[in-house]
Amino acid sequence: MGSLTALGLVLLILMIIVGGKQGISSFLSMVVNFGILFFSIVLIAFHMPPIIVTVVASVILLSITIFWSSASDNASTTAFQASVLILILLIAIIIPIEYWARVGGFGLEDSEELEGLSLYVGINFTKLAICTAILSSLGAIAEASIAIASGLDEITTQHPKIPADQLFADGIFIGKQIIGTAVNTLFFGFFGSSMGLFIWFYGLNYSLGDILNDKIFAAELIAIVISLIGVVLTIPGTTLIMSYKLRRKQRQGQKTESDH
Amino acid sequence: MKAKLTSKMTWVQIIGVLLFCLVAVFLTAHDDSLYTKPIFQVTRVQNGKVTKMSDEFHNTDYYHQQTLYGHITNGKHAGEALTIQNSFSNSGAMDHEYKPNQKLFIILHTKPKLHATVKDLKRDVPIVLLLALAVSLLMIVLKVHGVTVIGSIAINTLLFWGAVKLDHANNGAAVIPIFSILAVIFCFITLFLVMGWNKKMLVTLSAVLSATAITVLLTLLVFGVTHERGMYYESMQYVTQLPKPLFLAEVLIGVLGAVMDEATDIVASLATLKQERPELSKMQIFTSGRQIGKSIMGPLINVLFFIFMAETLPMTLLYLKNGNTWHYSFSMNMSLGMTSSLISGIGIVLTVILSSLFAGLWIKGDER
């Protein structure tokens, strides 16, 4: 048995111990997400338009991550709507930034690895960088929107008469706590995944200017900062949708009361 | 009245953000004199002939020649006009099409007369703009607390750079000890900034540290049992030292944020619960911790999964387009990212168990 399979098995067992049925579905969501990711790469390799493939895949990936979590129906529907909204906003930021910064493709640091590979494959690497940035942010958006939607759903279940303005304030309050820790998740993930690169920079005496303009570093930094912006935007986004729904529900409630 | 006040505030904020970003962009766009490398401003471009080319795997691409006219903006030759030849392909994996108004880093040759080759694009302006946008959004949503969050990132970045320095001084011989100590310091500072100095913080700290330590030991155990079959360390990118310890250190640091995020959540909720209902037993506290944890762990594992996997996309595609099999392309590019995701997942699940356990054992109802 390979190490990858063995680690997967250990994870599955631990998840079942902690979460039971929920553990199995969390594990499956990761496996299915991987399948969709790989399938999208294959589609792009067959010259399907990369950005469209990625956007469609992203909506599916978000729905799997959100609906297979243990959040209540109302919470997960709201979280999904909010995360798709944020996804659209992020794409609107990502596309101009990537075309401006041109971080697609490979840098001089990749030379050794690229030896013997043909680089002229007829796929636009700037578009691929856009896809990479979109995909990196999905997990962060999904997690933030689930956390806020679940918190607010709990509040509306316990106080169905809560004014929508009050709910909005509560959402921002919950959101503040989430951002503080989500920032850590993202930045440590970034430190971990680019540690080799940092050691490389130090070893070869890159100056701060060299690092800031380095293609590979810039690409990774853009992806992480975009995810961070996504998390921050998710807070008002999810809260707005939740309080809009509450207002509509309360209005309907009043209507049925006055009908009787 | 109140609504009016808040909408006024929002306008002030929007103008503030725009001003801040504009100033940041303006300053970065005029920082050429800070660079020692010569910078070239493109003013006019003439596109030349186009060649169609195809490789042995039937990939077709177009190769363009272009002439760039412009002048140097910094250093000894500032102001001097220059003409540079450039070539680029449609896919642009290692080359770029340059356009007027872009600034480029160039390599100057003075013999026999002044001429130059393009090195890379100057891309600090969009990077700084994005950072400015993120900082201002954080400040708007978090207000004063935003300073703590940004400060915590700044401190951690400096510490990380210090550890990289130390690692390099040892030629990578002590990468695991160095980054383990760094992990402990990271946790201490970050949790101190988030929770302050109290018992809750100590419970969280011990849960985070022991979960991370057990994860690393468990990983080593699995590697030992499976003889690391299917671990393609040679496929690691940007490696300048022994790859296996570096890989472990990368995963260790990478998972730390997620584990802290989760432990903070669980311990804080359990402390509040115990305060409201002091009659709950240790076992009941543990069970509620598990309940909270099992709903957070799935989404959290996916956060790291997407970070680790998305960046493998361009190289995997290049492998596929170079006639490699799906299996080989996966092994050489995605399998290490997948391994990192799985190890992180193990850390995240262990944190649920340990933080619920420690909270149950050590948190009493009379303290916050």
Which pairs count as long-range contacts for A66-70, CB under 8 Å and 24+ apart, including other chains? A66/A142, A66/A145, A66/A146, A66/B299, A68/A25, A68/A26, A68/A28, A68/A29, A68/B298, A69/A26, A69/A29, A69/A146, A69/B295, A69/B298, A69/B299, A70/A22, A70/B294, A70/B295, A70/B298
pLDDT at position B280 is 87
As a whole number, mean pLDDT of residues B331-344 equals: 94
Same domain, B123 and B161: no
Residue-level pLDDT at B326: 93
CA distance B261 to A185: 7
Residues B168, B212, single domain; the answer is yes
More confident residue, B219 or A177: B219
Which of B92, B122, B143 terminates a domain? The answer is B143
Asked if residue A132 is part of any domain, the answer here is yes
Total domains in chain B come to 2
Q: Are residues B159 and B139 in the same domain?
A: no
pLDDT in tens, B256-273: 999 999 999 999 999 988
Query: B365: pLDDT confidence band, cut at 50, 70 and 90?
Result: low
**Cα separation, B260 vs B249, whole angstroms:** 17
Q: Per-residue pLDDT averaged across A118-129, rounded?
A: 93
Task: Give the confidence band of A161 by pLDDT, cuts at 50, 70, 90.
Answer: confident
Contact B127 A191 (CB under 8 A): no
> What is the mean pLDDT of the segment spanning B275-293?
90
Of A208, A213, A102, the C-alpha closest to B94 is A102
- Using the 3D structure, point to which of B143, B178, B198 is the last residue of a domain: B143
How high is the pLDDT of residue B3? 47
Q: Looking at residues B135-142, what average pLDDT do you find?
A: 89
Q: Show the domain range for B357.
A: 144-362
Strand order in the sheet with B103-109: B81-89, B60-72, B39-54, B103-109, B115-121
Helices (H), chain B: 2-29, 124-142, 145-169, 175-195, 199-226, 243-276, 282-310, 313-321, 326-329, 335-362
**Tens digit of pLDDT for each residue in A67-83?**
988 778 889 999 999 99
Residue B71 CB-half CA count within 13 A = 8
Residue B6 has pLDDT above 60, yes or no: no
State the average pLDDT over residues A127-148: 95
Domain assignment present for A35: no
In Å, how far from its chain's centre is CA A117? 31
Q: Are residues B306 and B351 in the same domain?
A: yes
Average pLDDT value for chain B: 90
- Determine, yes or no, domain membership for B338: yes
Q: Is the pLDDT of residue B95 over 70?
A: yes
Candidate ranges A87-91, B57-61, B360-364; pick with highest mean pLDDT: A87-91
Q: What is the pLDDT of residue B12?
A: 86
In a domain? residue B351: yes
Single-letter amino acid, residue B157: T
Q: Is residue A48 part of a domain?
A: no
Q: Is B161 in the same domain as B133?
A: no
Q: For A191-199, what is the mean pLDDT?
A: 92
Helix (H, G, I), strand (E, B) or coil at B88: strand
A181 to B322: CB separation less than 8 angstroms, yes or no: no
Round to whole Å and give the CA distance between B199 and B128: 39
pLDDT > 60? residue B299: yes
Candidate from B89, B295, B338 with C-beta closest to A120: B89
- Predicted confidence (pLDDT) at residue B2 exceeds the cutoff of 50: no
Helix, strand or coil, per DSSP, at residue B53: strand
| Total structural domains within chain A | 1
Percent of chain B with pLDDT over 90: 68
The pLDDT value given to residue A254: 78
Q: Which of A98-107, A122-131, B269-278 has the lowest mean pLDDT?
A: B269-278
CB contact under 8 A, A69 and B298: yes
Let me know if residue A33 belongs to a domain: no
In chain A, positions 198-227, which contact chain B (CB-CB < 8 Å)? 198-200, 202-203, 207, 209, 212-213, 215-216, 218-227
B368 domain residue, yes or no: no
- Half-sphere exposure at residue A257, Cβ-oriented, CA atoms within 13 angstroms: 6
Domain enclosing residue A216, as ranges:
72-259
Q: Return the DSSP state at B71.
A: E
- Nearest one of B116, B66, B120 to B94, comparing CA atoms: B120
Contact across the interface for A200 and B240, Cβ inside 8 Å: yes
Question: Quick one: B213 and B353 in the same domain?
Answer: yes
Most confident of A48-57, A61-70, B54-63, B194-203: A48-57
Q: What's the mean pLDDT when you consider all of chain A?
A: 91
Find the residue in A nearest to B334 (Cα): A38
* Lowest-confidence region among A211-220, B35-44, B139-148, B161-170: B139-148
Per-residue pLDDT reduced to its tens digit, A13-61? 999 999 999 999 999 999 999 999 999 999 999 999 999 999 999 999 9
ipTM value of the model? 0.93
Answer for the pair B24, B129: CB distance below 8 angstroms, yes or no: yes
CA distance A150 to chain B (A): 10
For the beta carbon of residue A109, count every other beta carbon within 10 angstroms.
18
Helix, strand, coil % in chain A, rounded to nearest 5: 85, 0, 15
Query: Do residues B317 and B202 share a domain?
Result: yes
Q: Which residue has the higher pLDDT, A259 or B86?
A: B86
Percent of chain A exceeding pLDDT 90 equals 69
Lowest mean pLDDT among A233-237, A253-257, B280-284, B340-344: A253-257
Please tell me the distance from the alpha carbon of residue B86 to that of residue B94, in angstroms, as a whole number: 12
Residues B94 and B169 in one domain: no
Contact status of A43 with chain B (Cβ, < 8 Å): no
- Residue B291 sits in the same domain as residue B180: yes
Instruction: Read off the pLDDT band of B368 (50, 70, 90).
Output: very low
What's the confidence (pLDDT) of residue B1? Answer: 39
Single residue among B107, B124, B143 that ends a domain in this structure? B143
A143 to B131: CB separation less than 8 angstroms, yes or no: no
Dump pLDDT digits (tens) for B12-42: 888 988 999 999 999 999 999 999 999 999 9
Q: DSSP for B306-341?
A: HHHHHTTHHHHHHHHHTT--HHHHIIIIIHHHHHHH
Q: Is residue A169 part of a domain?
A: yes
* Residue A46 belongs to a domain: no
Angstrom distance (rounded) from CA A237 to CA A243:
10
